[in-house]
Structure 1
Amino acid sequence: MSDGPAERAARPLSARRRPPDRSRRLVSGVATALLSRGVGFVAPIVLVPLTLPYFGTDLYGLWMAVVALVGMASFADLGLGSGLMTKLAPCYAHGDDRRAQGYVSSAYLALSLLAAAMIAVLWLLADTIAWTSLFNVAGEVTQAQTRLIALLCLTAFLVNVPLALITRVQYAYQQVGRSNIWQAVASLTGLGLVLAVVAAGLSPLLVIVASVAAPPLVNAVNTVWFFRRAHRTIRPRLRAVDARTAWELTRLSGLFFVVTVVMSLGTNADTLVIAHVLGLSAVAGFVVPAKLLAQLGQLVVLINVPLWPANGEALARGQLGWVRRTTRRMTVLSVLFAAVPAVSLVCFGDRLFAAWLPVPIDDDRWLLAGLAVWWIIQAALSPRFMVQNAAGVVVPQLVGWVAFLALSIPGKWYGARWFGAAAVPWVGAAGYALTVLPAALYGYRRTLRRSPAPAQEREVEPIAV
C-alpha cells in the first residue's frame, strides 16, 4: 500500500528530496549560467570601445591594473564563502535548518566586521601608500587620480565582501538558476549606469563609480529578498551564532582562504607583471584580449560551480556513481565551451579587434593562442576541483597552487622581458600543467576514496548534457 499525504509529509526532508531533482537543477544551473555569462560577456564588449577612448590609454591601463589588484584581493572573505557552501550542502541534504542558520549567521557576522575594519584601515592609511609606485604610473595620470581610483575600487570591493555571501547560500540551497539571474541583473545594472555616465559626458571617475557600485547594490537587494521572502528559517541572527559551529566553519574556511590567496596571486599577477616589465602602455594591448578570453573562463566557472553543492549533497548520500558520471560529462562540456569560442577568437580575433576597437592594439596571435590554452586547461580540471571542494579536500589543491605560484611568477617576469606580453599566458599554461594538473587528479581520487558508497548504492538518473 502506498503512503498517504500525511505519511509522506512526516518523512525527513532529506528523504523527500529525490536525486533526479539534483540533475534537473544542475541542468537548469548550467543553462542560466550561459545566460548570465552571456550578459557578462556582452557588457565588456560594449564598454571597452566606449571607455578606452573616453579614458585614454594610460588612465584605462591604470583602471585595469587596479581591477587586477582587486582580483588578487578576492581572498578577503578569508575563505568563508567557500567554507560556507561546503558546510551548507549537507545541511540542505538532511534538512538541518538549525545548523545551517548557525553557519550562515557566523559567516555574515565575521565578514561584516572584517569588511568594516578593512575599509577603516584602508582610508586611514591611504596617504601613506605609494600608489603611483605600486601601479608604475607615468604619463598623464596624476598621483591624486591614482589614489582616488584605487580607493574607490577597493572600497566597493570590501563593501561587497559580506554581501556576496548570498550567492554561496543560494548555490548551496540549489537555487543556482535564481542566483545566476541576479548576477546577470548586476551586469546589466553596471552596464546601464556606465552608459548613462558616458552619455552625460561626466568625469571618468564617475564611470568607475558606476561600474563598481552595481554588484554590491544588486547583492544587497538579493540578500533581502532571499532571507525575508524565501528562507526565513536560515536568515542570519546574532543569537544563532554558535561557538562550535563557528569553529567548524572557520577551520575549513582557513584552508580555502590559503588556497584562494595563492590562486589569486598566481592568476591575477599577469597585468602587474606586464605593467612593471613593459609599462602601462603595454597593459591595454594585453588586457583587452585577456578580458575577452577571461569571459570564457568565467563561463566555465559558472557552469561548474553548481557542481560544488550538488556533489556535496551526492557525497552526503554516498552516491559516488552520480559524482563520477557527472564529472566526466561536465569535463567534456567545460572543454567544449572553452575551446570552440577560444579557437574562433585565435583565428579571427585580429579582424574583431580592428572592427571593434577605436584604438588599435597588438593583434598577436601567439598571445591569443596562449590565453586560449590557459583557459582550456583550467576548464578540463574545473569539474574535479568541484568534487574536492564539496568534500572539503583542500590540501592537494594548496600544494599544486603553491608550486604553480613559485614556478610561474619568475617565469612570467622573464618571459615578458625576453619575448613580450605574448609569453605570459604560455608560461602560465605550462606551469599549470606541471603543478596544478597532477594535484587535481590526485585530490579527485582521494576524495572518492574518502567517501565510500553504501553497500547498495542507489542508482541515479545520469545528468543529460
Structure 2
Amino acid sequence: MILKELLSKFTLKGDSRGSKAKRQILYSFLLQGLSVLIGLLYIPLLLDYLTQEKYGIWLTLTSILGWFSFFDIGLGNGLRNKLAEAIALDDVELGQKYVSTTYALLIGIFGAVLVLFHGCNFFLNWNSILNTKGIANEELYVLTSIVFTFFILRFIVQLISVIYLADQLPSITKLMTTSGNLLSFILVIILTKFAAKGNLILLGTIISVIPVILFVIVSLFSFGGRYKAFRPTISKIDFKLSSELMNLGAKFFFLQITAIIIFSTSNIFITQFYGPEEVVVYNIAYKYFQVPIMVFSIVMTPIWSAVTDAYTKSDFTWLKNTLRQLNLLALVFALGVVAMIFISDWVYELWVGDQVKVPFSLSVVLAIYTIMYLVMAPYSHYINGTGKIKLTMTLAFAGIPIYLILVFVFGDLFSNSTGIVLAITLSSLIGLVIQPMQTYKILNKKATGIWDK
C-alpha cells in the first residue's frame, strides 16, 4: 500500500509534461532491468557456445556492420524532432507527411545500400578483415550476407520506435527492444542445447531476424491503432519536406559518423593491435560500465522530446528546473561508478569466472569515460532536443583526428585495450567544457552565431 502511494506521487506529481516523463522513466526502469539481465547472461552463454575467438569475431563483425547505420543520414533523429514539433503544435497532417516522407527516403537509401553491399560482399576477404583463420571465408560470406540484410531491414522497420519517442513514449520503444532481446535469448538457449557448438551462421540468423519480425508486427498494430493518423501513405509523401528532415538529419548524421568511427573502430583497433581475444576482454569491461549509462539513459530518453516540446512552447522555467535535477542525479550516478571500480574484479569473477581476466587499468579508464558521459548527458540531450547541434558536430569532427593519433600512440604503449579506451576518453574532453556553456546560453537566450545553430 505504501509502495503504491509512493508510485502514485512519483508519477502524478508535477505538470503534464513532467508527469508523462516520470511515468515513462518508471516503466523504462522495469524493462531496462530485464534488458540488462539478458545482456549479462548473454556473455557467458555465448562464450560457452562459441570459442573466445569466435565470440570476438562476432563482436567485431557486428561493430563493422554498425558502420552502415550512418547511411540513414540522421533521418531518424530528424523525424524525432520534427514530429515532436508537429505534435506540440497539434498539426496531424504535417506529422503524417513527415512520417511518410521519412519512410520513402529510408527505403530508397537502404535499398541502394543493400544492393551495393551484396554486389561487393562476394569479393571481400573476411578472414583478413577479421584477422582470423579459425573459420572458413565461405562461412563468413554466408554469415555476413544474412546478418547484413536483416540489419539493413531493421533500420527501416524500426522507424516506428522513433514515432513513439517523438510522442514522449520511450518505454514502448524499450518494450520493443527488450522483447526482441528476450525472444532472441530464449532461441539462443534452445540453440545451445540442440545444435552443434560454434554455429555462427545459425546464431547470427536468430539474433538478426527476430528484431525485424517484431518491429514489423508492432508497426502494423500501431499504424492500425494509436498512430493511424500518422500512417505512412504514398499520397502523403512530400519531398519538399525532405530538405527540412535532411538539413536537421544531416547534422545528426555527422554526429553518428563520429560515434561510429570512434566506437565501432575500437573493436577493429583492438583486434589488430592485440588479437580478437582481447575484444572479448574489452567488451566484458565495457558492458559492466555500460550499466550505469544504460540506467541513466532511461531517465534521459524522454527528456530529449520533452525538451523539444518545452522549447517549442518557450517553457524555459521547466527547462531550467529539470536541468538542475538532472545534474544532481548525474552526480549521484558518478559516485556510484567510483564504487563500481573497487568491486569490479569481484563482479568479473562472479560473472564470467576465470574464462576472461580484465586488467584493473582497463576498469579505471572505462570508469573515467563513464563519469564523463554521465556529466555531459543532460547537456547533450538538451542540445539535441533544441536541434542546435552544429557546434556539437564541429567538436565531434575535431575529436576524430585526435582520437586516431592517440590510438596509435597508446596502442603501442599499452599491452591491452586500456590504451584504446584512453584515446576515446581524452578525445571527448572538449565536449565536457563546451556543451554546458552552449546549453546555458540557449536557456538564458544569449546564444548567438554557432551557439544558436
Question: TM-score normalised to the size of structure 1?
Answer: 0.87
Instruction: Indicate which of 191, 198, 206 corresponds to 2:185.
Output: 191
Unaligned runs of 5+ in 1: 1-17, 453-465
177-186 or 313-322, larger mean C-alpha shift: 177-186
Look up the equivalent residue of 1:171 and give its one-letter code: L
Preserved CA contact (<8 Å) 1:343 1:372:
yes
Preserved CA contact (<8 Å) 1:37 1:295:
no
Instruction: Indicate which of 5, 19, 24 corresponds to 2:19.
Output: 24
Preserved CA contact (<8 Å) 1:39 1:184:
yes
Counterpart-to-counterpart distance in 1, 2:52 and 2:139? 14
1:158-173 residue pairs with structure 2 within 5 A?
158-173=152-167
Q: CA deviation at 1:411?
A: 0.8
Q: Deviations over 1:158-193 (max 9, x none)?
A: 111111211111011122232222222122112112
Closer/same/farther in 2, CA of residues 76 and 37 from structure 1, 3 Å limit: farther
Query: What SS does structure 1 have at the residue aligned with 2:232?
Result: coil
The reply on whether 1:252 has 2:244 as its aligned counterpart is: no
Preserved CA contact (<8 Å) 1:87 1:103:
yes
82-91 or 289-298, larger mean C-alpha shift: 289-298
Unaligned runs of 5+ in 2: 1-12, 448-453
Instruction: Indicate which of 140, 143, 146 corresponds to 1:149.
Output: 143
The reply on whether 1:78 has 2:76 as its aligned counterpart is: no
2:372 aligned partner? 377
1:92 aligned partner? 87
Counterpart-to-counterpart distance in 2, 1:447 and 1:137? 50
Preserved CA contact (<8 Å) 1:339 1:372:
no
Preserved CA contact (<8 Å) 1:331 1:381:
no
Counterpart-to-counterpart distance in 1, 2:166 and 2:42? 33
Instruction: Indicate which of 210, 216, 221 corresponds to 2:217.
Output: 221
Preserved CA contact (<8 Å) 1:32 1:181:
no
2:59 aligned partner? 64
Q: CA deviation at 1:393?
A: 0.7
Preserved CA contact (<8 Å) 1:373 1:429:
yes
Counterpart-to-counterpart distance in 2, 1:199 and 1:179? 31
1:117 aligned partner? 112
The reply on whether 1:296 has 2:289 as its aligned counterpart is: no
Closer/same/farther in 2, CA of residues 401 and 205 from structure 1, 3 Å limit: same
Preserved CA contact (<8 Å) 2:143 2:200:
no
1:6 aligned partner? none
1:210 aligned partner? 206
Counterpart-to-counterpart distance in 2, 1:293 and 1:219? 29
Q: CA deviation at 1:445?
A: 3.2
Look up the equivalent residue of 2:117 and give its one-letter code: L
Preserved CA contact (<8 Å) 2:169 2:302:
no
Q: CA deviation at 1:31?
A: 1.8
Preserved CA contact (<8 Å) 2:270 2:279:
yes
Instruction: Indicate which of 234, 237, 242 corresponds to 1:238.
Output: 234
Counterpart-to-counterpart distance in 2, 1:438 and 1:43? 35
Q: CA deviation at 1:450?
A: 5.3
The reply on whether 1:286 has 2:298 as its aligned counterpart is: no
Q: Deviations over 1:368-393 (max 9, x none)?
A: 11112112211211111111112211
Look up the equivalent residue of 2:188 and give its one-letter code: V
The reply on whether 1:392 has 2:387 as its aligned counterpart is: yes
Counterpart-to-counterpart distance in 2, 1:350 and 1:215? 34
Query: What is the Cα-based RMSD across aligned positions, in Å?
Result: 2.1
1:459 aligned partner? none
2:343 aligned partner? 348
Question: TM-score normalised to the size of structure 2?
Answer: 0.90
Q: CA deviation at 1:143?
A: 1.6
Counterpart-to-counterpart distance in 2, 1:76 and 1:19? 40
Preserved CA contact (<8 Å) 1:90 1:316:
yes
Look up the equivalent residue of 2:87 and give its one-letter code: Y
1:3 aligned partner? none
Closer/same/farther in 2, CA of residues 154 and 451 from structure 1, 3 Å limit: farther
Counterpart-to-counterpart distance in 2, 1:45 and 1:19? 36
Preserved CA contact (<8 Å) 2:82 2:98:
yes
Preserved CA contact (<8 Å) 1:72 1:264:
yes
Q: CA deviation at 1:449?
A: 5.1
Q: CA deviation at 1:326?
A: 1.0
Preserved CA contact (<8 Å) 1:174 1:310:
yes
Q: Deviations over 1:242-301 (max 9, x none)?
A: 232222112211111111111221223221111111111222222222123234333333
Closer/same/farther in 2, CA of residues 37 and 70 from structure 1, 3 Å limit: farther
Counterpart-to-counterpart distance in 2, 1:83 and 1:423? 35
Instruction: Indicate which of 404, 409, 413 corresponds to 2:404.
Output: 409
Q: Deviations over 1:318-345 (max 9, x none)?
A: 11111111122123324534652x3344
393-402 or 443-452, larger mean C-alpha shift: 443-452
Closer/same/farther in 2, CA of residues 328 and 412 from structure 1, 3 Å limit: farther
The reply on whether 1:367 has 2:362 as its aligned counterpart is: yes
Preserved CA contact (<8 Å) 1:174 1:309:
yes
Q: CA deviation at 1:451?
A: 8.9
Query: What SS does structure 1 have at the residue aligned with 2:240?
Result: helix
1:269 aligned partner? 265
Query: What SS does structure 1 have at the residue aligned with 2:343?
Result: helix
Query: What SS does structure 1 have at the residue aligned with 2:357?
Result: coil
